[in-house]
Structure 1
């Protein structure tokens, strides 16, 4: 029976996302990715060219999926930040692989500039509230509020003695995000 190249590619990408989000580009090993994907190591190079190419493809997969699942809505920035938080609760690898990208491959693909350009233009035209902030800064602030829980040290999010994974604690933090963004964009 012939092998399904698209299924193999998908398994490799899934394994790569897990490996890269946990260990970064430098710590990830192609041998482990191949084993986890039940694929021949050579196929990784056939499909992706190099370890860097595989990292870029994994990053593109994760961030494109997140962008589609959590679209930036310039007319509901509090909702956008809350949806970002909700998404990262379920898919924390998106925050982790993004952090590795900034550390190990700044400037690597994907480039979401065109996506953000249209949103920033819409905010410049009057959407997104009358915060008085530059629209680029506003998007940075809102995105960071939605994802900060997943990027700050565990010691900080548990510094008050509460379990940061407790559903009530997570709900309270989500509500705080919404309120913070609401205040940020208030007229």
Structure 2
């Protein structure tokens, strides 16, 4: 286990039966609130994302990580928002959830995505639906998504297979 993986493991708060009975929720909020945790996680992600033109942070903790990584790399960050949070015009991607659908959006104007190399950053890889929708949204906008980086991967949920052949790096896997 790498030092950053050990640090994440030491700071994760586990919450039983949330959001429903039988689920062991992995709360990453303490990792982000810890100065050393935030610094080491953002540095590790920046090392992976090096060479990208932009990072894309997925709503909402991906915004925090994306901003920190972008500052370290001297590049910009684009926020991939939940549907209905951005003024029009927007580019959107709707995807299936276990009990319905969700939509992700990015601005259709003001940020040139076409031809840009982008690394997607999110907090957790679970089933892969959100990252797959983000990938589809950004590639439809003409961006070259070179990879995705997450702080935590829940391997038993199989999200990595959903994203293949997209390169995915996780800092800590359970």
**Could you say which TM-score interval applies, normalised by the shorter chain?**
0.3 to 0.5
Q: Which has the higher helix share?
A: 1
Which structure would you say has the larger Rg? 1
TM-score after normalising by structure 2 = 0.33
Higher relative contact order (CA 8 A, sep 6+): 1
TM-score after normalising by structure 1 = 0.32
Q: Which has the higher strand share?
A: 2
